Structure 1
Amino acid sequence: MDDTARDRIRRSFAAQSMMKTLGAEIIEVEEGLVRIASPIVPGAMQQQGFGHAGLTFSIGDSAAGYAALTTLPLDLEVVTAEIKVNLLAPARGDRLVATGRVIKPGKRLCVVTSEVHAELDGVSTMIAVLQGTMVPVPG
């Protein structure tokens, strides 16, 4: 994967106001894989003091979508057609890290997955898995 393709991912990510609101950042971009990290800030917690499932889902969906985009020509974007989340454990920690991967790339549909881990005191715990379908669309 070349720098032009990586820059496209980073520019597209920077244009997402939702990711800015969450304080999320891309920490890795490779072909078929994107990692996004987000702090668990006070404004993203649920009533019991854990990171909200909406935060988990948002960064998991974005990581999976951008992983799909790494496999597509530069003139295309992606949108989520459907995505399912299994919440495995409470989002306890300082930050979440979502790792999106491409299961099956395609010109019409890309099947993707994402794992989300919570990090606390140097320990990483898987808290969610997502699986879905991304649709390539004109950029």
Structure 2
Amino acid sequence: MEDPTQQEQASPEVQARIRAGFDSQGLMGHLGARMTHIGPGCVHIALPSRPEVTQQHGYFHAGATSAIADTAGGYAAFTLFPENTEVLTVEYKINLLAPAVGDRIEAVGTVLKSGRTLTVCKLEVFGVQDGRRKLVANGQQTLIRVDRPAP
């Protein structure tokens, strides 16, 4: 996987809109997740390891893995949407390929096809330990673009 610092960055306006939305999500704050890259059609979210996000064997919980994957895909799609719109997940499927272990896990959401109404994203989650990455989950997601409600 490419180093996020070498990937294309979204415009400052798009980055501000994405960060504002992410920062308003209660679940991401509760989990301790943070956004590490915002590019056109690509978002990375990291989740540090701590007991509150693990399951009984000490691996990252599938719910935490799935939550950051869904969120990374949603914001990847949102980077390509007009300012007066919102994004909602229609469906997603995730395959857990290996126990999610490491200092952190990192979800990468990448837009495969952005449409007027529906957008499809690829979801990948990596376990990161001592700088080494291992793919622990992958999936696909469909999102819908909706108009932002008038204030």
TM-score with structure 2 length normalisation?
A: 0.90
CA contact 1:61–1:130 (8 Å) conserved in 2: no
Structure 2 distance, partners of 1:76, 1:41, is: 35
Q: How does 1:40-55 map to 2 (within 5 A)?
A: 40-55=49-64
Equivalent of 2:22 in 13, 24, 49: 13
Alignment deviations for residues 46-101 of structure 1 (CA, whole Å, 9 cap, x no partner): 11110100111000000000000011101111000000000000011110101100
> Is the partner of 1:97 in helix, strand or coil?
strand
Counterpart of 1:4 in structure 2: which amino acid? E
Partners of 1:86 and 1:132 in 2: how far apart?
A: 12
Task: Name 1:35's counterpart in structure 2.
Answer: 44
Does 2:126 align with 1:122? no
Tell me the distance in 2 between the aligned counterparts of 1:40 and 1:61. Answer: 18
AA paired with 1:71? L
Task: Give the residue type in structure 2 aligned to 1:117.
Answer: F
Give the distance between the partners of 2:48 and 2:23, measured in 1 at CA. Answer: 17
* 1:24 is the counterpart of 2:33: yes
Say which SS state the counterpart of residue 5 (structure 1) adopts: helix
Deviation of 1:13 (Å): 0.1
Q: What is the CA distance between 1:121 and its match in structure 2?
A: 2.1
Query: Which residue number corresponds to residue 81 of structure 2?
Result: 72
Out of 89, 93, 98, the residue aligned to residue 102 of structure 2 is 93
Deviating beyond 4 angstroms after TM superposition, the runs of 4 or more aligned structure 1 residues are: none
Stretches of structure 1 that go unaligned for 5 or more consecutive residues are none
Residue 114 of structure 2 is matched in structure 1 by 105
- Percent identical pairs in the alignment equals 43
Superposition RMSD in Å: 0.8
SS of the residue 2:17 aligns to: helix
The TM-score normalised by the length of structure 1 is: 0.97
Secondary structure at the residue paired with 2:29? Answer: helix
Q: Distance in 2 between matches of 1:86 and 1:55?
A: 14
User: What amino acid is the match of 1:114?
Assistant: L
Q: CA deviation at 1:40?
A: 1.9
Q: In the TM superposition, what is the alpha-carbon distance from 1:122 to its structure 2 partner?
A: 2.1
Structure 2 residue matching 1:91: 3-state secondary structure: coil
Distance in 2 separating the partners of 1:13 and 1:138 = 18
